[in-house]
Amino acid sequence: MDIKSKIPDQNLIYKLVGKVQSYERKICKMIAPYRRTIDFDFTKKEQKLDLRILAISSQILRILYSNFKPDSSNSWNLEKQGDYQCLRVYSKFKMPKFTEVKIFTYKKRQKILNSFMEESLPNEIQELKFIRSKGDIHNRNLEKIGKYFKGLRLVLPRVISNVSISRFDISKKQLQSIFYLSKGAKGLTFNWCKLDLITVPNLGKSAKQCRIEQLIIYGCGLEFLCNWNENSSHFSNLVCGLSQTEWAHSSLKKIFLNNNNLHQQEIVDTLKEYQLNHLKFN
């Protein structure tokens, strides 16, 4: 099957995944030399390999890769058994290039997700959306993002357009790392996240190399998260941290602060105080 042929039905993928699990270790060992390319040539090794495993692995790989279009959006929800089974197989191979990756996490399956992010995502991604799929943001008990950092450390630097992170508890150290690792992207978004801004973060590690032009902080300042209405210093600390970087004065052009319990005049005054009043804001 040509890898650029018509995309197969997703149910077929799931069935094939089930069939191949019993052969998983043998297949992964067999195709290890080829895992970094989609141009597989199994004929050279054919006489030395079990023909049954060879046939199954060849078919699986080609169908899996035909499930992706170069300019497509690909979404996985780890809460769904079918998506989880697919990722178990995908995590063994290097995926072809595609534009958008949307991942809904599930805490009981973080190990396979980290493996997938480490080994399988392409070297260049236009947009990454990393979303906590389960739980109520109103209960203040957000999942900590640290358990996914093993994979995120390798994925974030590959994003060239937009990084979006939603519904996580993010420590100050992790926040600093996310800014640094996302320096190659043009946009960085935090949706309904609990951000540790009790003190001023150091966001200047990326210095001149940072390309971020747009920063979106949506819903993080609501009363059940960071509560910027009562903790106004947290917003000031964020702006202060930005003002201490060179890239915020050279690259950053827009900052959107919708739904954060902030008054417009407060935003104007704070940006002016830290000499970032050149920024466009909502």
Q: In which band, very low, low, confident or very high, does the pLDDT at 95 lie, cut at 50, 70 and 90?
A: confident
Instruction: With respect to residue 134, please indicate whether it lies within any of the assigned structural domains.
Output: yes
Q: What is the structure's pLDDT at 216? A: 98
Q: Centre a 10 Å sphere on the Cβ of residue 271 and count the other Cβ atoms it contains.
A: 19
Q: Give the model's confidence band at 35: pLDDT under 50 very low, under 70 low, under 90 confident, else very high.
A: very low
- What does the pLDDT read at residue 3? 37
**Which amino acid type is present at position 67?**
N
Residue 43 lies in a domain: no
Q: Note the pTM of the prediction, 2 decimals.
A: 0.75
CA dihedral 279, 100, 120, 31 (to 10 degrees): -150
Domain span at residue 205? 124-281
**pLDDT band at 46; cut points 50, 70, 90:** very low
Q: H or E stretch including 74? A: strand 73-77
Assess whether pLDDT exceeds 80 at residue 88. no
Q: Which residues contact 88 (CB under 8 A, 6 or more apart)?
A: 17, 21, 24, 112
Determine, yes or no, domain membership for 81: no
Q: Which of 13-27, 146-160, 218-232, 255-269 has the lowest mean pLDDT?
A: 13-27
- Percent pLDDT > 70 in the chain is 68
Interval 152-169 mean pLDDT: 94
Q: What is the pLDDT of residues 176-224, one digit of tens each?
A: 999 999 999 999 999 999 999 999 999 976 556 799 999 999 999 999 8
Structure tokens belonging to residue 45:
């090794």
Contacts of residue 260, defined as CB under 8 A and 6 or more positions apart, other chains included, come to 217, 218, 219, 220, 221, 222, 228, 235
CATH number at residue 207: 3.80.10
Q: Is 241 part of a structural domain of the chain?
A: yes
Higher-confidence position of 105 and 172: 172
Number of domains in the chain: 1
In a domain, 38, yes or no: no
Cβ(120)–Cβ(95) below 8 Å: yes
